Amino acid sequence: MLELFKALADPCRLRLVALLLKSELTVQELTQIMGMGQSRISRHLKILAEAGVLSVKRQGTWSYYRAGEQNPFFSAIRPEFERALEQLPERRNDLAAVAQALEARRKRSLEFFDRHAAQWDELSRTLLPVPEYQEGLLALVPEVPVLLEIGVGTGTLMAELARKAKQVIGVDHSPAMLVEARRRLVQDGVPGAELRLGEMTHLPIANGGVGCVIANMVLHHAPDPQAVLAEMARVLQPQGIVVLADLARHEREWAREQLADQWLGFEEEELKAWLAGAGLSEIAVQRVAAANGAEDVLLVRAVKQ
């Protein structure tokens, strides 16, 4: 208790905890949000991490900080603590700055995909090869009246997904990607599929509007993966299914620039915790092992409670 109270007894550290209870952020993003030097921010983060208030996830040369659960006493008082943090005088400005940081991540991704849409399929296969997993992914997809694919990209899965549902909807935030997807749908003869422009965290779908949501190699591009999973849960009907395919944790730092990857893959337990936090259960994760310099793929299935 003493260690925790000492760690929290500072206005700057209170602000940092308030920020990181909302989002995972890097030191660089925190320096911009707080308007302080990196050495000062790093010192405060170190104190909070040592007290078990924060945890750090290292991905290549980047470190992401978030609220931790290593201090049982902090976990116990956290609900009331979070309510009290809303009274901080800087709270409104800090939340606006967090939104700007996440928007900057989103814009970088959008600009990249608009620029590389026509070459995306070849670019992604060449730079970051993965084992063949499509058959395993499709086997997890149930037959439903309405099926949604988010981050539809160039529409490589749409023809197969159309066999699983009466109505298939594809959403992407890149207009250029949707142009490529429409071209593919015409080429593959899938006239019933519908494409919509929209963000992963603000899907253009009503609450409980679909029976299954699919995200194929999308989550590692998301500025805020947990917000994306929560949005998937929102649009799912009760007992609806989430199906994910994404990269297992890797160390290819260059993928951030060359493929607009926000995250260097994910740990299995990390995904399970996020899915459970979004209200999903019966979570199953299958790892598709790779060879010859390719990266492993995680296939995930979960059910809305």
Average pLDDT, the chain: 92
Query: What's this model's pTM, rounded to 2 decimal places?
Result: 0.78
CATH topology (fold) of 119-304: Rossmann fold (3.40.50)
Type of residue at 4? L
Under CATH, to which class is 2-89 assigned? mainly alpha
Q: What is the pLDDT of residues 181-215, one digit of tens each?
A: 999 999 888 877 999 999 999 999 999 999 999 99
Q: What is the pLDDT of residues 223-265, one digit of tens each?
A: 899 999 999 999 999 999 999 999 999 988 888 888 889 899 9
Domain ranges of the chain: 2-89, 119-304
Label residue 127 by pLDDT band (50, 70, 90).
Answer: confident
Note the pLDDT of residue 285. Answer: 97
